[in-house]
Amino acid sequence: MKTLVIGANGQIGRQFCEIASRAGVPIRAMIRHPDQQTWFRERGIETTIADLEGDLRHAFHGCDQAIFTAGSGPHTGPDKTLMIDLHGAIRCIDLAVELGLERFVMVSALRASDPLAAPEKMRPYMAAKFAADAYLRNAHVPHVILKPARLTDEPATRQVSTSIRSAPALDVSRGNVAHALTYLAQARTLKNREFDLLDGESTIAMALV
Ligand SMILES: NC(=O)c1ccc[n+]([C@@H]2O[C@H](COP(=O)([O-])OP(=O)(O)OC[C@H]3O[C@@H](n4cnc5c(N)ncnc54)[C@H](OP(=O)(O)O)[C@@H]3O)[C@@H](O)[C@H]2O)c1
């Protein structure tokens, strides 16, 4: 029962790996460069080297679940958004289907369902998330789509909301996302579900039902 973490070296990815590893969740961190291995080795976390724009198949072997928390980030253009956030995600979903994974957990984005509502600069990113989510919904692999609000680096409170209406602000800490992913990694019966995620006042187990 091993979870492949795609985007493991990212800000959410590392926090998730650390929390999940401490909780005894078997994980394999997918990273891009050998020099990123040290941080994971120091924490006893298995790694595999793979790139969303290169060969990926080997990373999936022996895993029964994948979490996609990779992203091209705000410092690249729409070309990388297309290749990483959309095409990279689609390639991972295809491999999950082909290799018969039990579940694919996608870190999407709040309001990805309406890219035209986003500020103009964000629209290609939101469109990539919109299309990747749509592809996953129609793929033959059980899935969970988690849609975090704007990410912050505030300390994790482990108190969240899945409702825009009841949340105090449209933010969520990366730590709270990492804790939510750790919960989801273990809540194996949750399938074909979608959750907005914001900082709030419910425990993660109460919110993600
Ligand atoms: N920013 C927001 O407000 C917001 C809101 C909602 C959702 N999200 C989503 O949250 C997720 C993670 O956020 P974050 O803050 O943790 O992002 P991050 O720190 O930028 O991490 C992104 C990770 O993706 C990896 N990556 C990029 N290109 C890759 C490639 N070609 N092959 C393999 N891995 C690649 C990066 O690898 P390296 O470490 O090697 O660079 C990095 O580890 C993303 O899916 C993002 O779209 C963001």
The pLDDT tens digits of the residues spanning 88-102 come to 999 999 999 999 999
Closest C-alpha to 172, from 138, 207, 199, 136: 199
CA of 85 to the centre of ligand 1 (A): 9
The pLDDT score that the predictor gives to residue 56 is: 97
Is residue 169 very low, low, confident or very high in pLDDT (cuts 50, 70, 90)?
A: confident
* Alpha carbon distance 73, 84 (integer Å): 9
The stretch 21-45 carries a mean pLDDT of 98
The stretch 144-158 carries a mean pLDDT of 98
pTM equals 0.98
CA of 203 to the centre of ligand 1 (A): 25
Question: How many Cα atoms are found within 13 Å in the side-chain-facing hemisphere of 204?
Answer: 19
CATH code of the domain covering residue 188: 3.40.50.720
Nearest alpha carbon, ligand 1 atom 31: 52
> Which tokens belong to 62?
């022996």
Which of these is catalytic: 16, 40, 104, 125? 125
Contact yes or no for 56/50 (Cβ under 8 A): yes
Q: Ligand 1: residues within 6 Å at CB?
A: 7, 9-13, 32, 51-53, 69-73, 84, 107, 109, 148, 150-151, 174
Distances (CA, A) of 99 to 77, 88, 117, 128, 177: 32, 17, 36, 24, 27
Nearest alpha carbon, ligand 1 atom 1: 151
CA of 12 to the centre of ligand 1 (A): 8
Residue 183 annotated as catalytic: no
Q: Is residue 198 classed as helix, strand or coil in its secondary structure? A: strand
Number of domains in the chain: 1
Cα dihedral 11/73/82/110 (nearest 10)? 70
The pLDDT score that the predictor gives to residue 167 is: 75
- DSSP 8-class letter at 133: H
The stretch 114-125 carries a mean pLDDT of 96
Candidate of 5, 69, 91 to mutate for ligand 1, largest count of ligand atoms within 8 Å of Cβ: 69
Strand order in the sheet with 103-107: 46-49, 27-31, 3-6, 65-68, 103-107, 143-148, 193-199, 159-161, 202-203
Domain of 63 in residue numbering reads as: 3-207
* Alpha carbon distance 67, 3 (integer Å): 7
CA of 60 to the centre of ligand 1 (A): 19
Closest C-alpha to 148, from 115, 170, 130, 167: 170
